Structure 1
Amino acid sequence: MTKKEHILEKAEALFSEKGFDATSVRDIAKAAGINIAMISYYFGSKEKLMEELFKMRMSAGLASVKEISENTALTTVEKLEKALSGYMDRVKHNKSFYKVILAEQATNKNKSVIRFMSKLKETYAKFFESVLNEGYASGAFKNRVDPVLFITTITGTIMQSLLNKHLYASHYGVKVTEEWIRDVYFEKVKEHLKTITRNILGYESNS
C-alpha cells in the first residue's frame, strides 16, 4: 500500500465514523501518523482528498463492468448476476466507504464528488441497459423494465441492507459480529438480490 492509499483509508474510516464535516485534516493526519503538510502535498485539501477516495474505490466497479460487458463467454443472465454479485462483494469489503456514499448523497455538499457519482451512475445505467437489451433480444428476460429504475431498485436494496443489518439480526435473534455480517448476512442479501432480479425480469436462475 502506498502512503497516499494509507492516508485515504484512514480518512475513509474517519468519514464513515464521524462524517466529512466533523473530520478535520488534523484528525486524518493523526490517524495516518503523518504531519498535516503531507495532506496538502498529496491532495491539496480535504475536499480533494474526498474526491481521490471516491475515484480510488469506484475504479474497481468501473473496471468490473467493463470486463463483464466485454466477456463474450458469459450468457446474459451470467453477466447480470456477476455484476450484481460483484457489487455486493465491493459493499461487503468496503462497508465504511458505502456509508460515506450514503452521507455524501444525503448532504449533497461536495459538488465535485456528486458530479463524479452522476457520471458513474450513467456508466452503470448504460451497462445494465445493454445487458437488459441483450436479454430481451435472446428471450432470456420476459419482462421489460426501465434500466434506471432497475438500478435504483438494486442499489436501494443493497444500501438499505447495509443500514438495517442490526434490524435483521434483532428480528431473528442473531448476535451481530463482523464474521456474521461478512459470511452470513451479506450472502443472504446476495441471494435476495437474485430472487428480486429473477422475479422482476422473469427469468430462471440456474444457481
Structure 2
Amino acid sequence: MGHREDLLEGAKSCLLAKGFARTTARDIVKESGTNLASIGYHYGSKDALLAQAYIALVEGMGDAFEGDGEAGITAEPGSVERFEEVWSNIIATMREPGSIWRLSVEIIAMGDQLPEVRDHLALAQREAGRGLIPLLMGGREEDVTDETADTLGMFYVTLMTGLIAQWTFDPQTAPGAEQLTEGLRQVIAAAGKS
C-alpha cells in the first residue's frame, strides 16, 4: 500500500476509536505510519481525509445491508416484504457493539464545527440514496436517475438517518423492521383512501 491508502486505513481506525472531533492529524499519522505532509498532499486536509474514511466505512456496510445466506434478500423487489428484509439487515448493523453509525450522529451534532467534513458527507448523501434504491426496488445502481436519487433515494436516506439517531440515542425503544413495515402499511392504506 502507498501513503494514500495507509492514511485512509489509519483514518478509519482513528474514527472508530475516537470519532471525528477527537481524532488529530498526529493520531492518523501514528496509526498509518506516514507523515503529516502526506495528509495535505493526498487529501488536502485532515477533515477531507476523515470524510473520505467515513464514506469508505459506510460503503463497506453494503454487503451487510444485503445480508448473506438465509439472512439474504429473497422477497420481490419493491414489495413490502422486501422493505422489511432490507431494513432488518440495516438495523442489524446498528445493533452491533461499536456501530459506525455513532459517527453519523456526531457529524449531525457537530456539523457547523466540522464544515469540511459536513460538506463532503452532504455530497455523498445522493450517492447513498442511489445505492439504497436497488436494494429495495431492484435494478442496478448505475441505472438510477438523478431525479429518482433526489426523491426516493433521499426518502430512504432520511429514514436511515432517523433510525441511526434513534438506535444511537435509545436502542431499547428504537423501532425494528417489523414496526417500520407496519407503519409503511398504514401509510399505504391511508394513501389508498384519498
- Distance 1:103-1:121 versus aligned 2 partners, 3 A rule: farther
User: SS at 2:100's partner residue?
Assistant: helix
Match of 1:28 in 2: 28
- Distance 1:197-1:155 versus aligned 2 partners, 3 A rule: farther
User: Is the Cα–Cα contact under 8 Å of residues 7 and 34 in structure 2 kept in the other structure?
Assistant: no
The alpha carbon displacement at 1:159 in A equals 2.0
| Aligned mates of 2:90, 2:82 — CA distance in 1 | 12
User: SS at 2:75's partner residue?
Assistant: coil
Match of 1:74 in 2: 75
The alpha carbon displacement at 1:59 in A equals 1.8
For 2:27, the aligned partner's letter is D
| Aligned mates of 1:105, 1:199 — CA distance in 2 | 25
Q: CA RMSD in A?
A: 4.1
Match of 2:100 in 1: 97
Instruction: Kindly indicate whether residue 166 of structure 2 is the aligned counterpart of residue 198 of structure 1.
Output: no
The alpha carbon displacement at 1:67 in A equals 9.4
Match of 2:166 in 1: 160
The alpha carbon displacement at 1:193 in A equals 3.1
Deviations 1:121-179 (A, max 9, x none): 3543x458847xxxxxxxxxxxxxx95557534541342221224xx4xxxxxxxxxxx
- 5+ residue gaps in structure 2? 139-150, 189-194
- 5+ residue gaps in structure 1? 132-145, 169-187
The number of aligned residues is 160
For 1:102-141, what aligned pairs fall within 5 Å after superposition?
102-106=105-109, 107-108=111-112, 109-110=115-116, 111-121=119-129, 123-124=131-132, 126-127=133-134, 130=137
Match of 1:51 in 2: 51
- What is the aligned counterpart of 2:16 among 10, 13, 35? 13
